[in-house]
Amino acid sequence: METLKLLTLTGLIATAPVLAFANVGLGDKLGTSEADIRAALEAQGYQIEEIEFEGGKIEVELIKDGVETELVLSDTDGVVTAIELEEDDD
């Protein structure tokens, strides 16, 4: 039983930094129109930099708490299919 508690605690500690800033996750449905996507993300505190519709996908560049992120959504159902954290070029 102690091993299970330790593994659970270790798992929570390992994922805590990701959960702290990642309100949007893979599989989340944000919408297929620019207005729906903006509304869903701005409600979670994101600042939208750019939304592009191209090649069967929607790319969204956004910032929250100083972290720049790019989301890729399916243009058919608005589901998040990829999340990429932008790295500093410093």
* Max CA distance (Å), the chain: 51
3 pLDDT more than 70:
no
All domains of the chain, ordered by start, with CATH? 24-90 (3.10.450)
What's the whole-model pTM score? 0.71
What pLDDT is attached to residue 86? 81
pLDDT digits (tens, 9 = 90+) for 15-68: 444 434 448 999 999 999 999 999 999 999 999 999 999 999 999 999 999 999
Residue 29 CA to residue 74 CA, distance in Å, equals 9
What pLDDT is attached to residue 28? 95
